[in-house]
Amino acid sequence: MDTDAFVGILDREGGLLASAAEEAGADAEVPTCPEWRVRDLLRHTGMVHRWATAFVAEGHTAYHPDGGLPDLDGAELVAWFRQGHRRLVDTLAAAPPDVACWYFLPAPSPLAFWARRQAHETTVHRLDAESARGGTPAAIAPDFAADGIDELLRGFHARSRSRVRSAEPRVLRVRATDTDDAVWTVRLSQEPPAAERGDTGEADCELAGPAGQLYLALWNRTPFPAVSGDASLAALWREKSAIT
């Protein structure tokens, strides 16, 4: 997927998030994030949008702290979220391809990183908002979901801060059943998980299902569609994989 595609998805997902949050109301509980209410979701995601915008718009080439959470609620909070989301989309759409700024996962360029990361950040939190509202959530395209699985397994969990560790070497397979070539082999040990694309060797446990369902399950929003083999590895993922 290219940068323009990610920016388009970010644009759509932020609008869906805001609409779902508005319908649910700021005080509604968020079932997929049990410690949050909708106001917490809007404050967090709006803060992240502004934080990301600053790197691209202001050209920070080293880590720069976020601006904190706003003391807003209700309609004012929704408007604040929409404003920040709009600025992020417009900033990414207008940025030159060679913009130089800080980023934290492997990517072809800083702009490609921020467009991809914010599209996925916003999609997962859109699902959170829809869980608070109730009803049928909007679909996630299989190719985008597969990209998100790849970012999570080969990006986030390749870092030293991943807590998904095993005292003995184990192998976890992740298989999207509705997307070509969307299979990952994740080698677990006392080091950070080592994930590669492909069906490589025997696995102790396999997590399988449609890409959209796997994507949300790996982000600990929904149950795994299907688990075969040693279910303790699925439980290990649930216990240790949260990204903070």
Tell me, yes or no, whether 125 and 164 share the same domain.
no
Q: What is the pTM of this model?
A: 0.97
83: helix, coil or strand? Answer: helix
pLDDT of 195: 98
pLDDT of 200: 87
Last residue of a domain, one of 82, 104, 133: 133
Strand partners, 206: 173, 228
pLDDT of 199: 93
pLDDT of 197: 97
Tell me, yes or no, whether 193 and 76 share the same domain.
no
Tell me, yes or no, whether 187 and 127 share the same domain.
no
pLDDT 10s digits, 115-156: 999 999 999 999 999 999 999 999 999 999 999 999 999 999
Tell me, yes or no, whether 178 and 70 share the same domain.
no
Domain extent at residue 28: 3-133
CATH code at 194?
3.30.1050.10
**CA of 35: how far to CAs of 29, 31, 32, 75, in Å?**
8, 9, 9, 22
pLDDT in tens, the chain (244 residues): 999 999 999 999 999 999 999 999 999 999 999 999 999 999 999 999 999 999 999 999 999 999 999 999 999 999 999 999 999 999 999 999 999 999 999 999 999 999 999 999 999 999 999 999 999 999 999 999 999 999 999 999 999 999 999 999 999 999 999 999 999 999 999 999 999 999 989 999 999 999 999 999 999 999 999 999 999 999 999 999 998 7
DSSP classification of residue 156: G
φ, ψ of residue 139 to 5 degrees: the values are -70, 155
Tell me, yes or no, whether 65 and 158 share the same domain.
no
DSSP classification of residue 177: T
CATH code at 84?
1.20.120
Check if the beta carbon of residue 36 is closer than 8 Å to that of residue 128: yes
Q: How many domains does the chain have?
A: 2
40: helix, coil or strand? Answer: helix
Tell me, yes or no, whether 118 and 146 share the same domain.
no
pLDDT of 119: 98
